[in-house]
Amino acid sequence: DTGVSQNPRHKITKRGQNVTFRCDPISEHNRLYWYRQTLGQGPEFLTYFQNEAQLEKSRLLSDRFSAERPKGSFSTLEIQRTEQGDSAMYLCASSPWGSGTNTEAFFGQGTRLTVV
């Protein structure tokens, strides 16, 4: 399967614990995005990487959230001291990038986080 891969698919954690999610984008896709989706809402942008550089973070991303893409390939999203309001589906997407290229984002199946 050459699509965007996310692990784990489901995570249940106790409030206050830290969690980390992994995203493997489509090979050679320079752009990587993290989105969050809650029930009844569309995906909300969290952050964006171009290669290893994190170029934008949404105001939705509090200081408990951190994302990395150390070698410009896979990415991790960590949530520290989880709260019940963090319960959501966390989506990763990737897209190719090149000068003048218009393209769509390719999404993974997401990691569903439940904070109890």
Partner 1 sequence: AQSVSQHNHHVILSEAASLELGCNYSYGGTVNLFWYVQYPGQHLQLLLKYFSGDPLVKGIKGFEAEFIKSKFSFNLRKPSVQWSDTAEYFCAVNAPGTYKYIFGTGTRLKVLA
List residues near partner 1 by CB under 8 A: 3-4, 31, 33, 35, 40-45, 48, 50, 55-56, 91, 93, 102, 104-110
**Cβ closer to partner 1: 24 or 80?**
24
* Cα first-last separation, the chain: 33
Q: By C-beta, is 3 or 16 nearer to partner 1? A: 3
**Spatial distance between the Cα atoms of 75 and 77, rounded to a whole number of angstroms:** 7
Provide, rounded to whole angstroms, the least separation between the CB of residue 48 and partner 1: 5
Find the shortest distance in angstroms from Cβ 102 to partner 1. 4
**3-class secondary-structure state, position 38:** coil
- The least CB distance from residue 31 to partner 1, in Å, is 6
Listed in sequence order, the residues at least 6 apart from 79 whose beta carbon sits closer than 8 Å to its beta carbon are 18, 19, 20, 64, 65, 86, 113
Residue pair 5/32 in contact by the 8 Å Cβ criterion: no
Compute the least distance from the CB of residue 12 to partner 1, in Å. Answer: 18
Task: Kindly tell me which of 45 and 74 has the beta carbon lying closer to partner 1.
Answer: 45
Comparing CA positions, the residue from 5, 10, 77, 9 lying closest to residue 47 is 77
Residue number with CB closer to partner 1 (10 or 15): 10
